[in-house]
Amino acid sequence: MKSIPKIFLKSIVLLLVLCILTGCSRQPVSYTATDIAMGTVLNQTVYTTGEDETGNITELVRSLERDTLSWRVSDSEIAGLNASQAGIPMSLSEELWEDLLLLQEVSKQSGGAFDFTLGTLTGLWNIDAQAQSDHEEIRIPTEEEIARALENSGYDKVLLKDGCITLEGGIQLDLGAAGKGIACDRIGDYLKGTNITGAVISVGGSVITYGGKPDGSPWQVGIVNPEDTSRLLGTFSLTGEWYISTSGDYERYIEVDGIRYHHILDPTSGYPAQSNLRSVTVIAKSGALSDALSTACFVLGQEEGMALAAYFNAETVFVDKEGNLYLSEGIKDIFRQTAE
Ligand code: AMP
Ligand code: MG
């Protein structure tokens, strides 16, 4: 047998030593992607030692909308429930069962400020579609219509038992206030089975931060300035897995005779919430929770909203119409306000 040249052997030894010193691991590579999913913008920055997973994540969010949450797509799970006969228990997929249990709890604890049964009312206002349509077609519902829609809503008209849901007559589920946060939860579950070492992904107004950056620096998550959405009021530094959701009156609205009708409705009045707020941001350990709470807090206003979020161990930032910022105690140290 021919002997291996010395120089070659030395190289192998050197490589082995280097490999041991560096752990032989691949350095994470970053991938970014921007897509439309769930009727909103899906932005991804992902660090991974494996393949580019951004396409899979986009498909995950799209299929969640298509198969489970959408009330527009007739064969989604929610649309099926809305079309089902009242009073008959309908079995739920395991994930939706877990989500609805949480949403019912937020509905209860918020005294109905967040309510996942507002489908008839939100359909009546139809702010999403109206905001995109020709101004001349805009229509504000009448008081009678609103009163009737409110009669057909109420989280207490929903029974969740043994993995099944039973709806009273007229109830239409609308998970729009929590859907993007639920998408972040599903993304979080997915990331745990991949080689992704860090990610920051936003689905409209809901964001998940996960893992870390290769250089060890924290994620920066911004709070949009409601007066000028191209600017930030400030940023949070976060490390590890967090879920951040914002509800604001600037996100989707219509204007008639100088009055702004935005998309966050007060279930007590049936009209857009008037709580002297421009936006609420909630930071929590689950996306469904942060998203549902951001809507609830917007309806309740700063004082009651902060107490509600504290009950769920979530942190908050409220921005009022005068541009004042109110931060909960736990995040004051990680927030940096933008210089004027
Ligand atoms: P978000 O932007 O997360 O605050 O969610 C707003 C969306 O949730 C709206 O477009 C409606 O579909 C729905 N919605 C509006 N008001 C409420 C409310 N008080 N509780 C639950 N869902 C609501
Ligand atoms: Mg929300």
What is the average pLDDT value for the chain, to the nearest integer? 92
The mean-pLDDT minimum among 4-8, 218-222, 233-237, 312-316 falls in: 4-8
Query: What are the structure tokens assigned to 235, written together?
Result: 């940023």
Query: Is ligand 1 within 6 A of the CB of residue 262?
Result: no
Nearest alpha-carbon partner for 304 in 290, 291, 318, 287: 318
Site to probe by mutation for ligand 1, drawn from 118, 121, 155 as the one with most ligand atoms within 8 Å of Cβ, is 118
| Tens of pLDDT, residues 78-125 | 999 999 999 999 999 999 999 999 999 999 999 999 999 999 999 999
What angle do helix axes 54-64 and 179-191 make, rounded to 10 degrees?
140
Q: What is the CA radius of gyration of the chain?
A: 23
Query: What are the structure tokens assigned to 151, written together?
Result: 């009669």
| Tens of pLDDT, residues 224-278 | 999 999 999 999 999 999 999 999 999 988 888 888 899 999 999 999 999 999 9
Distance (angstroms) between ligand 1 centre and the Cα of 299 equals 10
Distance (angstroms) between ligand 2 centre and the Cα of 247 equals 6
- Please tell me the distance from the alpha carbon of residue 288 to that of residue 290, in angstroms, as a whole number: 6
- Please tell me the distance from the alpha carbon of residue 193 to that of residue 82, in angstroms, as a whole number: 33
pLDDT of 40 higher than 90: yes
Average pLDDT over residues 139-153: 96
Tell me the CA distances in angstroms from 289 to 100, 101, 225, 332, one per residue in order.
Answer: 11, 11, 23, 21
Task: With residue 289 as reference, give the H or E element that holds it.
Answer: helix 287-300
Distance (angstroms) between ligand 2 centre and the Cα of 277 equals 14
DSSP 68: I
pLDDT of residue 22: 47
pLDDT of 134 higher than 80: no
- Please tell me the distance from the alpha carbon of residue 321 to that of residue 119, in angstroms, as a whole number: 28
Nearest alpha-carbon partner for 117 in 160, 76, 74: 160
Read off the pTM: 0.92
User: Which residue would you say has higher pLDDT here, 71 or 172?
Assistant: 172
Residue nearest to atom 5 of ligand 1 (CA): 177
First to last CA, the chain: 76
| Tens of pLDDT, residues 174-196 | 999 999 999 999 999 999 999 99
pLDDT of 20 higher than 90: no
Percent of the chain with pLDDT over 70: 92
Strands (E), 239-310: 242-248, 253-256, 259-262, 277-284
